[in-house]
Amino acid sequence: MQLSRFFLPILKETPKEAEIVSHRLMLRAGMLRQQAAGIYSWLPLGWRVLQKVEQIVREEQNRAGAIELLMPTLQLADLWRESGRYDAYGPEMLRIQDRHKRDLLYGPTNEEMITEIFRSYVKSYKSLPLNLYHIQWKFRDEQRPRFGVMRGREFLMKDAYSFDLDKDAARLSYNKMFVAYLRTFARMGLKAIPMQAETGPIGGDLSHEFIVLAETGESGVYCHRDVLDLPVPDETVDYDGDLTPLIRQWTELYAATEDVHDAARYEREVPEAKRLHTRGIEVGQIFYFGTKYSDAMKALVMGPDGSERPIHGGSYGVGVSRLLGAIIEASHDEAGIIWPEAVAPFRVALLNLKQGGADTDAACARLYAALTARGIDVLYDDRDERPGAKFATADLIGIPWQVLVGPKGLAEGKVELKRRADGARELLTPDDVVARLTAPVSA
């Protein structure tokens, strides 16, 4: 992508409504446009990152055996009357009417709808287990949206729903999502800690929140420091195998949100030097809720013994759009965002330090063609700007690698390769830069 033809409305100054760093940087980097409190347009740069994050979530859901579908944003109120949540949900639910005066709502979550789909088709225990998910925009009419995408009213969420014959089987489904979440967040460069959590209006008696530690987070948390250093399973993890040891490893050390914090147990189990009380950003939450919805909505399957029984359910959410805020909170400096490679909107920023110079223009054109031909996403800054402005832009939008092409280096046949994360620079020939960036592991 040539920057001169891209749409990247960066801001030199911070809009005054933005208080926390991720919100400020998303606005300054031209990722977001606020349309109303908690409602945003995703500008091209932000949209690219959102899609990268979404794709990682999708890949890990698929790997764990969940199956993607897509449900609508609008739902009939009748569905929610069946579960009893139409009245229970309260003013956070955005309620609307169509031209026929039928009550609709903009979905804040999809337990009812997925249960309706499930019960229409699945009649036998032989079809279980089943885990269906979608990645769709949700709406919650928050009393106080804040911090940009961290607490929006319209937000992108991955929500998965598992269906099992009994509690033991449901626990296996729960464990799969638990492990999938460990992998999902780790792939984005995040350290997300599973913590015991309240089940809230979803109901049920087993739940973990996945929390990224950050001072700007909205949740207070208590945990054992060693939980921060636990290993995340790699992509060879066998989801059909026994995940129990892995789950035990991740749950035996104390880690809880303040809502369910047990001070006595914390002090008993966690040595003083290992105690960590801080704040965090909730990026995912998993629930086992048993037969709460299958009872109310008659989602029954025939068991092996010939008797009908309600399925045991769980639901598993990831705040996809919120993750962008969490990643930036965890990875930035004074100059701007530092994207982990896995979610970066472009992998390489190619900076022509003397736009219009015959040598630099030609060298950039060759590099751009070579890198692009090898499938690398390159943002070529070909604007008629001075070097300083290009450096500032590249740093602000956080592209992992910068290739600096200027007359100084070219005199010796070299260009500079700079890593955004630590500022490390190397003088290389253009060919070596291409080789380096196409090497299998370059981080």
Contact footprint for RNA (CB under 7 A): 10-17, 19-20, 23, 28, 34, 36-38, 92, 108-110, 138, 140, 142-147, 151, 157, 159, 198, 200-202, 209, 218-219, 282, 285, 287, 315, 317, 335, 353-356, 386-389, 391-393, 395-396, 404-410, 415-416, 418, 423, 425
Cβ atoms of 368 and 360 within 8 Å: the answer is no
| Cβ atoms 210, 287 nearer than 8 A | no
For the CB of residue 37, give the shortest distance to RNA in the complex, in Å: 3
Residue 200 or 271: which CB sits closer to RNA?
200
At its nearest, how many Å lie between RNA and the CB of residue 40?
10
Q: Which is nearer to RNA, 321 or 393 (CB)?
A: 393
Measured from the CB atom, is 285 or 321 closer to RNA?
Answer: 285
Judged by CB, which is closer to RNA: 115, or 165?
115
Give me the least distance between CB of 315 and RNA, in Å please: 6
Q: What angle do CA 356, 359, 363 make, to 5 degrees?
A: 100
Least Cβ distance, residue 213 to RNA (angstroms): 16
3-state secondary structure of 359: helix
Instruction: Tell me the CB-side half-sphere exposure of residue 158, using CA atoms within 13 A.
Output: 31
Using only C-alpha atoms, the chain has a radius of gyration, in whole angstroms, of: 24
Using a 10 angstrom Cβ sphere, with 0-12 exposed, 13-18 middle and 19 or more buried, the burial of residue 95 is middle
- Phi, psi dihedrals of residue 307, rounded to the nearest 5°: -105, 145
Tell me whether residue 219 or residue 442 sits nearer to RNA (CB atom): 219
Task: Specify burial of residue 143 (Cβ count, 10 A radius: 0-12, 13-18, 19+).
Answer: exposed
**Closer by beta carbon to RNA, 168 or else 215:** 215
Q: Nearest approach, Cβ of 401 to RNA (angstroms)?
A: 13
| 43: DSSP letter | -
Q: How far is the CB of 231 from RNA (least distance, A)?
A: 26
Helix (H, G, I), strand (E, B) or coil at 49: helix
- Output the DSSP codes for 122-168: --BGGG-SEEEEEEEEEE---SS-BTGGGB-SEEEEEEEEEEESSHH
Nearer to RNA, 138 or 292 (CB): 138
The DSSP code for 222 is E
Composition of the chain by helix, strand, coil, percent to 5: 40, 30, 35
Question: Looking at beta carbons only, is 24 or 125 nearer to RNA?
Answer: 24
State in angstroms the smallest separation of the CB of 387 from RNA: 3
Kindly state the smallest distance separating residue 10's Cβ from RNA, in Å.
6
Q: Which residue, among 439, 402, 398, has the nearest Cα to 417 in the 3D structure?
A: 402
